[in-house]
Amino acid sequence: MKPPNALPHKTDNGNVVVTTHLYDGKKSLPLDIELYQHGDSLPEGKEDPEFKKKPTLALELIDKSLNRGYRPGIVLIDSSYGNNTSFLKNLEERKLKYIGGIALNRNILFKDKSGKTEAIRIDEYAQWICSEEFKEIQIPGEKPRTVWVAIISVEISKLEGQRKIAIVMSAPVFEEAEDIDERPCGGFLR
């Protein structure tokens, strides 16, 4: 099997776990699992020595895999991790590639016509993208669907350097889209 490729968390019956998996492109084999305990479930709350935030647990599991000699081809993360600048910096310090969601209200940086750097929310920026930049993609599955994707290079606030993000919409133009999503494309690869 290939090195670990996933680090999602899952909620089931009110419990949250952080996991690592080996994934060969078809099958997933769980490697490690840690229960996330909410602060209010511990005697001293968030001050309890047992309390750890999900990103802390995730980094511990990643380090456990790295110490075993498993080097992930890519780390898959959801938006709760994708919006955590500290977590992303930790992945980059470990020279790990990652891909995951980020919030529509996350600021990206761009240079205006005068060369001044401006911040704008991703969902606001999506309105400026020409419809020609969106490519139609067919997503197969039980319920196949069509989405339109624009991949852009941007700087993300609080992170250094360029990242590629994919803005995914349910229609070819912003005004018609009922659903807008954004996913870092290529793991914020530079």
Q: Where are the domains of the chain?
A: 1-101, 102-190
Helix (H, G, I), strand (E, B) or coil at 58: helix
Which amino acid, 154? V
Query: Dihedral sign, CA of 25, 26, 31, 37?
Result: positive
How far are the Cα atoms of 13, 38, 39, 157 from residue 16, in angstroms, in the given order? 9, 9, 13, 29
Instruction: Give the helix ranges, DSSP H, for the chain.
Output: 54-67, 79-82, 85-93, 122-126
CATH number for domain 1-101, candidates 3.30.420, 3.90.1200, 3.40.50, 3.30.519: 3.30.420
pTM comes to 0.74
* Contact between residue 18 and residue 57 where contact means Cβ atoms under 8 Å apart: yes
pLDDT tens-digit profile, the chain (190 residues): 344 444 444 444 567 889 998 887 788 889 999 999 888 888 998 999 999 999 999 999 999 999 999 888 888 887 778 888 899 999 999 999 888 888 888 888 877 788 888 898 888 888 888 888 899 999 888 889 898 888 888 888 788 888 888 888 888 877 777 766 655 443 343 3
